[in-house]
Structure 1
Amino acid sequence: MANHKSALKRIRRNEAVRLRNRYQHKTTRNAIKKLRGTEDKKEAETLFPSVVSMIDKLAKKNVIHANKAANLKSSLAKHIATLA
């Protein structure tokens, strides 16, 4: 167990950050699934900027790796391009 006051504060803060990261990561994954599931090109094009923004925010906070973010954005862009 932590002996210092600052260590106890850090434990509390780490838990709060962990939960926030988990929530944002799950929300982004659901948005990606929704985008991949759409068959309508117009709807997909309107969703795309918000999903890309979410992915970029996760990469900026190191929740996901920058290369994974780039791969996700690329694959989503390809998916939208194939829609008719």
Structure 2
Amino acid sequence: MANHKATKKDVRQAAKRRERNRYQGKTTRNAVRDLRALTTAKDAAESIPTVISQIDKLAKKGVIHKNKAANLKSALTKKVQALAK
């Protein structure tokens, strides 16, 4: 365990950030799963902006890599466009 006051604070902050990142990551994964499960174009078109926004926020904070975010958004957009046809 850390001995310095600042290091103890850093440990507390890291735990908070890790917990927040886990929650946001899991929430986004669930949203992606739900979007993939949709079968109607209207529902998918309504929910894709929020899912893409969540993915962008994770990439901005460094929770996921920016290329992974781009790949996810691309795949989801393709899926939604395929439903529209």
- Do both proteins adopt the same fold according to a TM-score greater than 0.5, normalized to the shorter chain? yes
Q: Distance in 2 between matches of 1:58 and 1:83?
A: 26
Gaps of 5+ in 1: none
**Post-superposition offset of 1:3:** 1.1
- Structure 1 residues 1-84: aligned runs within 5 Å: 1-84=1-84
SS at the partner of 1:83? Answer: helix
**Post-superposition offset of 1:16:** 0.5
TM-score by length of 2: 0.97
TM-score by length of 1: 0.98
After TM superposition, which residue ranges in structure 1, 4 or more long, deviate above 4 angstroms? none
Q: Percent identity?
A: 57
Q: What amino acid sits opposite 2:44 in the alignment?
A: A
Q: Distance in 2 between matches of 1:36 and 1:26?
A: 15
Equivalent pairs counted in the alignment come to 84
